[in-house]
Structure 1
């Protein structure tokens, strides 16, 4: 691990978009490739990163009249300030930043060209901890109910600086709602509902209509290493930890990555 460099873990086959790419197409790419961040290039130069959070922020704005996915472009929904790394950056430098505020995808730049990205998913194979996952899980789980409003779920996500929430009813985990699910729900609403009715529909949207089901869950006794492997294989950002069909805690990619080294 001491000698590992970014080039050893980065994803080289990067999905990127041009600055003029429509949000409609960006949402299609995100869904097709099961990703939540996409670098934006202008003449081969990295100028920003589209994120699920920025999309939700833009589409959730009722004040702006023509906020339609077909009329918005990459530059409207991208983060313009972000850190980058090089292929020779030591991996241990990246590990120090995991869990801190900021972009969860690090663009890898060499000679002003985007050559890869590093995400938390890229770091999961490095998790080797054999302790039971119950030792690092969060026990006080923030959750929403299926009949809660989507705008309530979004508020919890923003206020607590998290990316997703388990959907729980009487202790049972029914699904997960993430920023990406909210972005899709908002985009569908903007496409299909006339502007004058959008505010009402936005306020009435229910979690059950936007959540992902079934939730991929873990067991309190599974090892941290196996939890990381499961998150990698299923491409999920968290595992609600369940015992006897009831939620006992939650573990995220950040939690397991923090055990590296």
Structure 2
């Protein structure tokens, strides 16, 4: 199954010289969802919404300084490979090409719409994230932002005692901040076009600018989570067929559902990323150690070397078992004497939680070595720390269940 039917030519784009403040304002537009495609004379990259929560970004900073280089996909790319690229790049929108020509974009929701009818082979329990991270209604907005950053997540439920009463996403935060700043500071009504922003389809509205935060941001950070959260919270049980759960996600403003036990107590969360990850499973790649971006392996580094290093970490700590490991290689454009700058991320899914290490180095071997050392150090530093994404060790029959729906789809 390829993605051609799910690709769209409608997207929002900005010139690389556009100010960050203008992008913040644009994200308040309903038509914009997870990311903005940035174009100069050609596609330069994507900026995820959560990037704008970084307090270090000056409003006058140019977009080209924060843009992320996404993987390219062909208009007829396999849907599993596209899902894999979204998961490993942590981007919900990717540029699509017809040969060497930019054609359009593909989003996470478009992929889920494409495969929806085939998802009845799975249940929510096959894909959802356990070890739920949450905040309380009276937690400050500053704490909420820190929770999202520290755990590298894009949404968090608001729990009061044993009930989920709201959900706060990056979308909510950016929209809230922009709305407050517009109300208090005002701005020019030129919207997108004043700084070379444009939409590929009609209907894009102008909106006020994003003024200087001044002392207003400090006051906003003290506001309680209940003032920012979205309601109602959509919930689902582990036994719910996955196609029904995904259909509910596609019909709401959210990209997630809170998973509850029979008593209604929240026990986890299911996001579009969880579902995309399930789509990447096949007989060859569903291994304890998965390597993404293998085309960037060079300098003598092999899959066997990677497996050996992960296995040494597993053997080193008797009180921790690694259930699964993901190693992601992402190449930047920068080179040093012909050797590309690589970002390598090592994710260890263990019975003690999830531990991550990332490093940027020139060459695959040094980058992987440093990332693995950081992941190992994080696991050693605090084995009791939990992270969303902890996996159960699936049985052979469960793995076959995850694979079977693809045979039906194809």
Normalised to the residue count of structure 2, the TM-score between the two structures is 0.54
- Unaligned residue ranges in structure 1 (runs of 5+): none
- Unaligned residue ranges in structure 2 (runs of 5+): 186-211, 280-405
CA distance in 2, matches of 1:180, 1:13: 20
Give the C-alpha shift of residue 91 in structure 1. Answer: 2.2
What residue number does 2:170 align with?
179
Equivalent residues in 2 for 1:117-156 (5 A)?
117-125=105-113, 126-127=115-116, 128-156=119-147
**1:116 partnered with 2:104:** yes
What residue number does 2:247 align with?
229
Give the C-alpha shift of residue 164 in structure 1. Answer: 0.7
User: SS where residue 94 of structure 1 aligns?
Assistant: helix
**1:103 partnered with 2:88:** no
CA distance in 2, matches of 1:219, 1:79: 38
Give the C-alpha shift of residue 139 in structure 1. Answer: 3.2
- Equivalent position to 1:35, from 33, 49, 74: 33
Larger radius of gyration: 2
What residue number does 1:47 align with?
44
CA distance in 2, matches of 1:50, 1:98: 13
Per-residue deviation, residues 13-47 of structure 1 (Å, max 9, x unmatched): 2222334556446634553215021111224x112
Residues 155 and 168 in structure 2, CA contact (< 8 A), matched pair in contact too? yes
Q: Which moved more, 1:251-260 or 1:117-126?
A: 251-260
Q: CA 1:139–1:90 in structure 2 vs 1: closer, same or farther (change >3 Å)?
A: closer
Equivalent residues in 2 for 1:1-261 (5 A)?
4-21=1-18, 23-24=21-22, 27-28=25-26, 30-43=28-41, 45-57=42-54, 60-61=55-56, 67-68=58-59, 74-75=63-64, 78-110=66-98, 113-125=101-113, 126-127=115-116, 128-191=119-182, 192=184, 196-198=214-216, 200-242=218-260, 243-260=262-279, 261=406
CA distance in 1, matches of 2:213, 2:123: 51
Would you say how many aligned residue pairs link Structure 1 and Structure 2?
A: 248
Give the C-alpha shift of residue 202 in structure 1. Answer: 4.2
Normalised to the residue count of structure 1, the TM-score between the two structures is 0.81
Q: CA 1:29–1:251 in structure 2 vs 1: closer, same or farther (change >3 Å)?
A: closer
CA distance in 1, matches of 2:255, 2:64: 26
Residues 26 and 74 in structure 1, CA contact (< 8 A), matched pair in contact too? no
Residues 71 and 85 in structure 2, CA contact (< 8 A), matched pair in contact too? no
Give the C-alpha shift of residue 75 in structure 1. Answer: 4.0
Residues 36 and 51 in structure 1, CA contact (< 8 A), matched pair in contact too? yes
Q: CA 1:12–1:162 in structure 2 vs 1: closer, same or farther (change >3 Å)?
A: same
Give the C-alpha shift of residue 189 in structure 1. Answer: 4.8
Q: CA 1:208–1:108 in structure 2 vs 1: closer, same or farther (change >3 Å)?
A: same
CA distance in 1, matches of 2:102, 2:61: 24
Per-residue deviation, residues 194-229 of structure 1 (Å, max 9, x unmatched): 755245314413222222111222233320111111
Give the C-alpha shift of residue 188 in structure 1. Answer: 4.0
Per-residue deviation, residues 99-131 of structure 1 (Å, max 9, x unmatched): 324323211133554322122111213142344
Give the C-alpha shift of residue 48 in structure 1. Answer: 2.6
Higher normalized contact order (CA 8 Å, seq sep 6+, divided by chain length): 1
Give the C-alpha shift of residue 167 in structure 1. Answer: 1.1
Residues 94 and 106 in structure 2, CA contact (< 8 A), matched pair in contact too? yes
Residues 24 and 174 in structure 2, CA contact (< 8 A), matched pair in contact too? no
CA distance in 2, matches of 1:185, 1:12: 29
Q: Which moved more, 1:125-134 or 1:83-92?
A: 125-134
